[in-house]
Copies of this chain bind each other. A is one copy, B any other.
Amino acid sequence: MYVSSEQAGDVGILTLTHPEKRNALSRALIAELMEQMEVLAAARCRALILTAGVGARVWSAGHDINELPHGEDPLLYSDPLEQLLRAVRHFPAPVIAMVSGSVWGGATDLVLSCDIIVGDDSCSFALTPVNLGLPYNTAGTLNFIRRLPLNVAKEMIFTARPIDAAEAESWHILNHRVPTAELQSFTLALANRIATKAPLAVAAIKEQFRMLGDSAPLQPGIFERIQELRHKVYKSRDYVEGISAFKEKRPPRFRGE
């Protein structure tokens, strides 16, 4: 069991419960999470809270590095994390991320795919593909462009620096920064407020936000050029080095090859 699910009135709460692996987004954890989301959607939940619990040290470590493929596109459309991100955006009610602790890599993507984010002072967010030499994909890049000031998105992704709660607030990653002691009650109150609103209207508006957010049309030739660039990255020696260094817990030495 990697995830626990509960329903409080019209509000669903999904909690990541695998701290021994720092809630890494393994296939197994993602499968369980998506299954529980379907249960809550079927129960006509009107708001969903996604959390790792108040006071967690690590919200989630992100992608399970052991599951990344070698010499292949690690971010295919069918990749479990990509499926999860789409499931969050397609969930028929608002999804609120409630965050204590650090959020890493793909888990930051997950949190940024939620509709609303509430964090306490311990929360932090890092985007880390350049630590691994991972060829980040276009749908993911678009997610950042829609969600963050452009220069901030670039700084986060080019430096892989964790952003603390104060910065996250001033850069609008957080909707609200609240004391840890109030995190749960504040978030529940927000979710309960949404749950009193007209759910069909909420769902139709969320879907319009999604469709418009996904609108960044590119000509096929442009896209095929991007795929080639990404192909070079996941075939590079640097990608191998990035993964190895991570596993050996040493700094990588990248050579641009």
Contacts and interface: CB of A to CB of B under 8 A. Distances in A.
B196 A251 contact: yes
Contacts of A206: 154, 158
B213 A145 contact: yes
A151 B172 contact: yes
A215 B216 contact: yes
Interface string A139-174: 101100111011111110111110000000001110
Given A138-B212, A139-B224, A116 B252 contact: no
A213 to B, nearest CB: 7
A251 B194 CA distance: 14
A214 interface: yes
Contacts of A133: 198, 200-201
29 contacts: A73-B227, A76-B227, A76-B228, A77-B224, A77-B228, A78-B228, A94-B154, A115-B155, A116-B154, A116-B155, A130-B198, A130-B205, A132-B201, A137-B208, A138-B220, A141-B212, A142-B220, A145-B209, A145-B213, A157-B205, A158-B197, A160-B197, A198-B242, A198-B254, A199-B254, A204-B226, A212-B216, A212-B220, A217-B219
- 10 closest Cβ contacts across the A-B interface? A217-B217, A133-B198, A130-B197, A77-B228, A149-B172, A138-B220, A199-B256, A141-B208, A215-B216, A204-B229
Interface of A: 44, 46, 73, 76-78, 94, 115-117, 129-139, 141-142, 145-147, 149-155, 157-161, 171-173, 175, 190, 193-194, 196-209, 211-233, 236, 238-239, 242, 251-252, 254, 256-257
Given A198-B238, A220-B223, 16 more contacts: A77-B227, A129-B201, A139-B221, A146-B150, A152-B172, A157-B205, A158-B197, A159-B194, A198-B233, A198-B239, A200-B232, A200-B256, A201-B238, A204-B230, A207-B226, A216-B219
